[in-house]
Every structure is written in structure tokens, then in C-alpha cells.
């Protein structure tokens, strides 16, 4: 798993990188929130560990930008020396998932990353299950969340921008149409 570090202090960034790499993680580094945001535009990273206070774009603001863009969920761990309920509440309001306090503790980092992996795995499973369509084996109608059955086309059109046009494939033409209208003359 690739972890993006957003940390302006070079010593803390190097220590965090070493701890992550020794735990088997791939690491992408950035020296502030603005450069971390640029990195996130070009690669998929499931976990971000960000310092709170950085020049240009602080940790909570980086988290807000990530949450507002949508797409795959990114687990966000805030690295901070700020303690106290008001700091935690402000970070949670920004969308932060978890916290690490400075100075770094290797065991605590491992624990936080295990939680991140578990949460991301559960999100993936929920997305997979949400993608399952309850479809009738015979008539191919779909059951919606209210237990009503509707056509496949109607179900998909209602939930996406897809539109359907209809035709008849060659196999179905031979099987269903030719017996009624007669074969080719």
C-alpha cells in the first residue's frame, strides 16, 4: 500500500518514511500540503499522513480538498503536536480519520495503519456489495431498495446518465423473429 506523507519538517518526514518502509509500505513524500495536493492529482494513494501546520496548505485544508473532490476514499491521518478537544474536533470537522501525535511512536503508527487497512478493506467490500444487482433469473427485472421490481433499463437510467436504444442481435433475430415472419427469402 502506498502512503503519502505531507510533512514540512525534513527530519520528521525522513523518520516517518523509514518507519513506513520498514513496515513494508510504499512511500510518496511531499514537503507541504500544496505539493501533496499536486501528487494526489496524478497518482492513487489510499492513505495520507499529513502534518497539521504547514506552509501554503495546512493539514485540515488538505483534508477538506481531498474530501470535496470525491472519488476513491483516502484514509487521512493527521500528524500533530496540537492536543485538546478543540483541535480534535476541528480536524474531525475537516474530515480527518485518525491522529498521530508528535513525537512519533512506531507502535502507534503501526496500529493506526492497521486500522486504515481494515477501514479501507471494509469500504471496498461495501462498494462491491452495493454493486450487486438483485436481478430476476427469468425476466431480468431488478428489485429496488423498496422491494419493487422494474426493468433493467429503467433501473439503470434512474441511477446513471445511461440511456438505452434497442435493437435485436443476430442470435435473437434467428431464435425469435424468423420463426414468426419466416426465414430469409
Query: Is 161 found in the same domain as 81?
Result: no
Query: Is 153 found in the same domain as 105?
Result: no
Query: Is 159 found in the same domain as 97?
Result: no
Separation in Å, CA 5 to CA 12, 17, 82: 10, 8, 18
C-alpha 148/C-alpha 152 separation (Å) is 12
What's the residue count for the chain?
185
First to last CA, the chain: 63
Nearest to 74 by CA among 93, 94, 47, 36: 47
Give the pLDDT of residue 184: 66
Q: For the whole model, what pTM was predicted? A: 0.71
Strand partners, 30: 6
Q: Give a yes or no: residue 135 inside a domain.
A: no
Cell of residue 53, nine digits:
501546520
Encode the chain (185 residues) as per-residue pLDDT tens digits: 999 999 999 999 999 999 999 999 999 999 999 999 999 999 999 999 999 999 989 999 999 999 999 888 999 999 988 777 888 888 899 999 999 888 889 999 999 999 999 999 998 888 777 777 778 877 788 888 788 888 888 888 887 888 887 788 888 888 888 888 876 65
Q: Give a yes or no: residue 136 inside a domain.
A: no
Query: Is 166 found in the same domain as 90?
Result: no
Query: Is 58 found in the same domain as 104?
Result: yes
Q: Which residues span the domain enclosing 174?
A: 142-181
Query: Is 59 found in the same domain as 16?
Result: yes
C-alpha 34/C-alpha 58 separation (Å) is 8
Q: Give a yes or no: residue 137 inside a domain.
A: no
Domains: count for the chain:
2
Query: Is 112 found in the same domain as 75?
Result: yes
Q: Give the CATH number, domain containing residue 69.
A: 3.40.50.2300
Q: Give a yes or no: residue 21 inside a domain.
A: yes
C-alpha 57/C-alpha 64 separation (Å) is 11
Query: Is 177 found in the same domain as 96?
Result: no
Helices (H), 8-151: 10-22, 33-42, 59-69, 85-94, 106-130
Query: Is 110 found in the same domain as 46?
Result: yes
Query: Is 80 found in the same domain as 37?
Result: yes
Amino acid at each position: 500500500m502506498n502512503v503519502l506523507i505531507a510533512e514540512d519538517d525534513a527530519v520528521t518526514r525522513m523518520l516517518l518514511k523509514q518507519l513506513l518502509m520498514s513496515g513494508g509500505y510504499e512511500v510518496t513524500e511531499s514537503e507541504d500540503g500544496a505539493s501533496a495536493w499536486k501528487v494526489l492529482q496524478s497518482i492513487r494513494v489510499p492513505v495520507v499522513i499529513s502534518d497539521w501546520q504547514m506552509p501554503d496548505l495546512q493539514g485540515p485544508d488538505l483534508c477538506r480538498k481531498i474530501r470535496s473532490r470525491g472519488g476513491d476514499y483516502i484514509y487521512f491521518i493527521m500528524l500533530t503536536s496540537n492536543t485538546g478537544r478543540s483541535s480534535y474536533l476541528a480536524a474531525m470537522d475537516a474530515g480527518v480519520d485518525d491522529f498521530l501525535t508528535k513525537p512519533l511512536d512506531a507502535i502507534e503508527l503501526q496500529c493506526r495503519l492497521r486500522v486504515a487497512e481494515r477501514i479501507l478493506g471494509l469500504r471496498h467490500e461495501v462498494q462491491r456489495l452495493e454493486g450487486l444487482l438483485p436481478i430476476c433469473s427469468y425476466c431480468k427485472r431488478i428489485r429496488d431498495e423498496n422491494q419493487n421490481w422494474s426493468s433493467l433499463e429503467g433501473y439503470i437510467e434512474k441511477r446513471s446518465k445511461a440511456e438505452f436504444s434497442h435493437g435485436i442481435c443476430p442470435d435473437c433475430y434467428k431464435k425469435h423473429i424468423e420463426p414468426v415472419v419466416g426465414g430469409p427469402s
